[in-house]
């Protein structure tokens, strides 16, 4: 578990970049690279909070914002929900396709929230064909891509847990690596303890592997649940994010074949915090109208679900903000 908190993430040096490009595509080499990049072994925190503590009723949003092309518009899109906590995945920091912006920081500023950010991948490439059309430069200033937690109140504690370190998108024998666009990193979860009127609540933003099968995601979720038990052995917990359920099972993308749901239930979690319905749609980056999947979920422990729903990621002007709709839940600590 990583608990090093920083206000700035150190860029990858030219020497480190050369080492990544020349390294053998093996799991051992990837682990050495990952351990040698300080920014990938720390949590970046910033922003300003609105108040000191949350009420006993808390509204949580989980949203894969697909690089976060439009952070301010996305923040405004949450106005009808008025969330206290926002759990984000696929947020860029210093990427050409998102104008080199720290999209998490911009998102948090627009909502007057604090943020915690963890680097999932250091990307050396600019992205796929649809992303290249969005690039403002032919280089990435930082190349960070990751997860975030936004909160209306300050964090009491934060931590990051890596759900794999073998280089699923790097090692040549992983089945998912891309020889043309090497990436260092892997899926992760961010954990944060927040103060409420009824005591602390732990919120978790996670993103499981897309290019893998159900047993792989089961193992990742098991690692996450163990980490939560270490971080918060008791008390209420909310987990939200893109779990990529059924994403490796075309053409039906059947999420019911995933075993992580029963795993979580056996350890005291409920999935009643997630509304029924698919959560994907065509977007600027992913224009695939035939893919209807349920990938995004909220689970809870020690909480009561008052209400939950899915909100479209189409803006009021009809523009797709992401290829994922957002899921939300109003939970009570009573």
Q: What's the pTM? A: 0.96
Domain ranges of the chain: 5-332
C-beta of residue 171 within 8 angstroms of C-beta of residue 185: no
Provide the mean pLDDT of the chain: 94
Give per-residue pLDDT as tens, 54-63. Answer: 999 999 999 9
Mean pLDDT over 251-264 rounds to 91
Who wins on pLDDT, 224 or 177?
A: 224
Token digits for 65? 């914002």
Q: What share of the chain is helix, strand, coil (3-state, %, to 5)?
A: 20, 30, 45
At 252, is the pLDDT very low, low, confident or very high (cuts 50, 70, 90)? confident
Give per-residue pLDDT as tens, 103-128. Answer: 999 999 999 999 999 999 999 999 88
At 171, is the pLDDT very low, low, confident or very high (cuts 50, 70, 90)? confident
Alpha carbons 13 and 149: distance in angstroms, whole number: 27
Place of tokens 């090497």: 182
Who wins on pLDDT, 334 or 67?
A: 67
- How is domain 5-332 classified at the CATH fold level? Deoxyribonuclease I; Chain A (3.60.10)
- Beta-strand (E) ranges in 130-289? 144-151, 157-162, 183-185, 188-194, 201-207, 237-242
- Residue 248 has what pLDDT? 76
In SS3 terms, 72-90 reads as: HHHHHHCCCCCCCEEEEEE
Alpha carbons 235 and 21: distance in angstroms, whole number: 44
Alpha carbons 158 and 161: distance in angstroms, whole number: 10
Alpha carbons 75 and 89: distance in angstroms, whole number: 14
- Residue 251 has what pLDDT? 73
Who wins on pLDDT, 179 or 290?
A: 290
- Residue 18 has what pLDDT? 93
Q: Which of 334, 275, 333 is nearest to 299 (CA)?
A: 275
User: Does 180 score more than 90 pLDDT?
Assistant: no
Percentage of the chain with pLDDT > 70?
Answer: 96
C-beta of residue 55 within 8 angstroms of C-beta of residue 83: no
- Residue 175 has what pLDDT? 56
Mean pLDDT over 59-73 rounds to 98
Place of tokens 């999420």: 255
Token digits for 220? 């990742």
Give per-residue pLDDT as tens, 280-303. Answer: 999 999 987 777 899 999 999 999
Dmax (CA) for the chain in angstroms is 55
- Residue 176 has what pLDDT? 59
> Around 11, how many Cα atoms within 13 Å sit in the side-chain half-sphere?
13
Who wins on pLDDT, 288 or 258?
A: 258
Give per-residue pLDDT as tens, 298-328. Answer: 999 999 999 999 999 999 999 999 999 999 9
């Amino acid at each position: 578990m990583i608990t090093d908190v920083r206000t700035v993430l150190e860029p990858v040096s030219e020497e480190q970049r050369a080492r990544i490009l020349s390294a053998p595509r093996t799991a051992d080499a990837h682990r050495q690279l990952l351990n040698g990049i300080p920014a990938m072994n720390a949590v970046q925190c910033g922003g300003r909070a609105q108040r000191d503590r949350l009420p006993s009723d808390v509204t949580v949003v989980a949203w894969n914002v697909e690089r976060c092309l439009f952070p301010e518009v996305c923040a405004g899109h949450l106005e009808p929900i008025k969330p206290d906590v926002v759990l984000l995945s696929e947020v860029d920091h210093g990427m050409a396709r998102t104008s080199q912006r720290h999209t998490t920081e911009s998102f948090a500023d627009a909502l007057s929230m604090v943020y915690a950010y963890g680097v999932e991948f250091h990307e050396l490439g600019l992205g796929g064909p649809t992303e290249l059309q969005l690039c403002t430069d032919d280089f990435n200033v930082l190349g960070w891509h990751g997860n975030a937690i936004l909160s209306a109140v300050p964090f009491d504690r934060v931590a990051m847990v890596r759900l794999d370190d073998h280089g699923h998108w790097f090692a040549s024998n992983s089945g998912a690596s891309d020889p043309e666009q090497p990436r260092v990193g892997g899926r992760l979860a961010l954990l944060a303890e927040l103060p409420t009127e009824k005591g602390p609540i732990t919120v978790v933003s996670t993103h499981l592997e897309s290019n893998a099968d159900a047993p792989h995601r089961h193992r990742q979720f098991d690692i996450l649940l163990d980490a939560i038990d270490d971080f918060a052995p008791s008390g209420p917990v909310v987990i939200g994010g893109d779990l990529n359920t059924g994403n490796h099972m075309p053409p039906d993308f059947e999420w019911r074949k995933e075993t992580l749901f029963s795993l979580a239930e056996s350890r005291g979690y409920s999935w009643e915090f997630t509304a029924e319905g698919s959560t994907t749609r065509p977007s600027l980056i992913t224009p695939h109208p035939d893919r209807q999947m349920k990938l995004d979920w909220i689970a809870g422990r020690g909480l009561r679900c008052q209400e939950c729903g899915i909100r479209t990621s189409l803006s009021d002007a009809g523009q797709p903000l992401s290829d994922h709709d957002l899921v939300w839940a109003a939970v009570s600590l009573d």
